[in-house]
Amino acid sequence: MLAQCYITLNLEPNGMRDIFGRFHLADRKEKRTLELLMIHFLDVVEAVLQLEPLLESARRSDWKTVEEISDTISELEKKADNSHREAVIAISKGAFFSGIREDFLQLMEQNDTVADATHIAARIISDTPIDTRSLQILYEEPKATAAELISKTKETVYLLEEAIKAIAVDSQLAVSKSLLVEHAEGEASTIRDRLIKQIFSHKGELDVLTLLQLRDFVLKLDDVASAAEDSSDIVIALVTKAQA
């Protein structure tokens, strides 16, 4: 579990510079909304972190644990939905200036897409067990394995987390971290392409359903990274609009 200190943002007057300093974002409503934004995203991050143990459990043919982890991801997605709903209500009641209110709503919607893609990826593996030999295809090519793709996906989400936290205190840092998300997502896409090629090199020996299941799992992992990159674009747009 991520450190709980991440949830409490530095929103004291001397820490409120850059985009929020000019908006005098000091009352309790805005602070609480930013906290809800981070609480929401921490649940999203925690869901993404479950993908690695889920796949490792599948490799060991421990399908009971796979199902349990998939259920955990589902619960985290539901928690994120609840915090999202609470933040949307707060924003709709007037938190933030109208010029950036829509951007915050879009950011939370897009962060939900990260959680949704994570949930679907988990279900692809947990709903229909794959035999160990077929799963091993995802580990055949060095530096282009499913583990590497999950690692790169986690990197995009961690960088996005840093970008979102920086919104409240340092707009330049928020932008620089968002640009790093884009770079990491590009690397994830490269791994995705090599994995897909590897999967289809076995099309003569795999049944069609297993081939499609492996392909869909890889594509959905990449969707997690792509969704994080889309969120980072919203962060940049939000900062740019606020400074205009």
Mean pLDDT by 10 residues, the chain (244 residues): 38 40 50 80 96 97 97 94 84 65 86 96 96 95 94 97 89 95 97 97 95 98 97 91 68
- At which residue do the structure tokens 């809800």 appear? 36
The pLDDT value given to residue 167 = 84
Phi-psi region of 174 (alpha: psi -120 to 50; beta: other; left: phi over 0): alpha
Range list of H helices, 14-62: 18-21, 28-49, 51-59
- CB-based contact 134:184 (threshold 8 Å): no
Q: Give the type of residue at 107.
A: L
> Domain count of the chain?
1
Cβ neighbours around 118 below 10 Å, total = 31
> What residues make up the domain containing 73?
14-243
Q: Taking the model in full, what pTM does it have?
A: 0.86
Residue 5 included in any domain: no
Does residue 1 fall inside a structural domain? Answer: no
Q: Is 8 inside any structural domain?
A: no
pLDDT of res. 24: 40
Asked, for residue 115, whether it belongs to a domain, the answer is: yes
CATH number at residue 175: 1.20.58.220
